[in-house]
Every structure is written in C-alpha cells, then in structure tokens.
Structure 1
C-alpha cells in the first residue's frame, strides 16, 4: 500500500520546484511568466504562513500534487477571502483521492486560521467541488471563459465529539 502524506511547504522545501513547474504548466493562461518567477512567488508565499499556505501531497516520498490557501486571487472579481487556489495532481496519480485530500487539508488550514468560509474560482470542475460540499454563488465571464465562484462553509470543529 502506498504511503501518502500532506506537508506544508517551507521556503527551502525541495518540492517547491516541482510545485512551481506544475502550476506554470497547468495554469499558464492565468499565471504567465517564467519558472523562476513562479518559484519566487511560491517562496514568498510560504515565507509567511500566518494567512497563506502551500501544501504538497507525496506518495511514497514523491511529490504528486499541490494546493494553496491564499489571501486573494489573481485579478480578483470578488472582494472575498481566503481562497483555495491552484489544486493540481500529477496525471498518473489522479482518481486516487489525492485532490480531495488536498482540498480537505486546505479547508483545515483555513479553519485553523479562524476562517469560516473559503472561496475558489473554477471553469471546469464545478461538479467535482460540489461533491465536496462546495456551492456555486456566482458565475462570471473571465478572460473569455465561463467561470464559477464557489463557496465552502467550513463547519466548526469546536462542537462535542460524536
């Protein structure tokens, strides 16, 4: 059985480079720029984890995916915060629950920071996020793409144990 772990990226984590590379490949229409610029952006993000965090999921010690908790989205159309951004799992590891693991871990990170709501933009994964209890709260045209703003109400973990 594969060993799966989710880690918070640090400024000198060796996984920063593959995460930056994946982000640039998967979101080039949004991010643009170079690998050096994306790596610097990720290093800056992980240098202060008070409000933001970058996670990596590893399978048998090999990086397999990433996701971010960020204060604001690129070119924000909505004045809300915080955001789940940049969910990515390498193709050979998809359909194994790693994306869900990353989404839930980002939700936990937001909750630990006292947040009760989390937002994301998606142009092609509404059904995926709806299965994870997210809901569409707005639809916009962003750079020529039909894009949904989604909300996740984060249940409190303060209640009595079940």
Structure 2
C-alpha cells in the first residue's frame, strides 16, 4: 500500500474541485454550495503567506484535506492561526491520513513562523490529544454545544 503524502492545493487545479466538494458536503457550518466553496478555495489558495490548503493522497488517490487559516469562523477566542476543516474520506479513515494531515499543517505553521496553533473540535479531542495537542477549555462555539478549544505549541524553524 502506498504511503500517504500531502500536497499544497493550488488555485485552478483538480484538487480544488475535490476539496470543495468534500467541504461543501461535510461542513454544514460553511453553508456553501460546491461552486461557492470552489470560488472560496481558489481565492484562499492564491495567498499562501499565512494560510494553506493541503490535500492528502495515497498514491494518486485523494484521501483527505485540511487547512491552516489565520482566523476561524466566528471564533470565541481571538488567536491565530487555526487548523481547520480536517476531513478524511470515510473509506480512508483509521489508516493514518488524519494524523499525516495534522502533522503537515503543523509543519506549514512552523515554516510560516508560528509558535502555536489552535483548533475547535466537537468530537475529536482524544484524537488530537494523542497527537500532542492540549485541551485549553471547553466552550460553546457557534451553538454546537460543548466544543473543545485546543492548542499545540510547535517549534519554530531557525532562519
């Protein structure tokens, strides 16, 4: 079985279409159609200074996506940057793709000079804790009820 590798998603690529479909179908909080999410991701991917979209592939097969974003949608905490939108296709779950994507986003944050990264999760706190993330507190984010606010300190790369 091929290793899982991550790639930066660039504007106008087939990967944008795949990620847009996954995001529109999975994240109801976005309230977006596939076309709207495609436009949003194209704009997002065009500016990679403080943000990045990644896609994970096993060989040539797309298996998941994740974002590093400067701000979360209506955050309860004014911090930056955020790991957001982690998604692994159901048929590829529990085979390491999520962990690969999280580590890749951490590396992207590190390259951009960030020493800490944050996320919200409703149900995956134990997953992130296994990857070294710390639970900061529980909050009620966007009316979703008990949501974990988590952080991870990352070692910044020396210039």
With the shorter chain as reference, the TM-score category is over 0.9
Residue by residue over 1:15-38, the C-alpha shift from the partner in whole angstroms, topping out at 9 and shown as x without a partner, is 11111111112211x101211111
Shift of 1:39: 0.9
Matched, 1:81 2:77: no
Aligned to 1:41: 40
Aligned to 1:137: 136
Gap regions ≥5 residues in structure 1: none
How well do the aligned residues superpose, as a CA RMSD in angstroms?
1.1
Aligned to 2:122: 123
Cα distance in 2 for partners of 1:81, 1:106 equals: 13
Cα distance in 2 for partners of 1:66, 1:74 equals: 18
Gap regions ≥5 residues in structure 2: none
Cα distance in 1 for partners of 2:62, 2:106 equals: 20
Cα distance in 2 for partners of 1:89, 1:76 equals: 23
Shift of 1:157: 4.6
Cα distance in 1 for partners of 2:118, 2:21 equals: 24
User: Deviation above 2 Å: which 4+ runs of structure 1?
Assistant: 155-158
Matched, 1:152 2:152: yes
TM-score normalised by structure 1 residue count? 0.93
Task: Count residues in correspondence.
Answer: 157
Where 1:15 maps in the other structure, the secondary structure is helix
Aligned to 1:64: 63
Where 1:38 maps in the other structure, the secondary structure is helix
Cα distance in 1 for partners of 2:13, 2:57 equals: 13
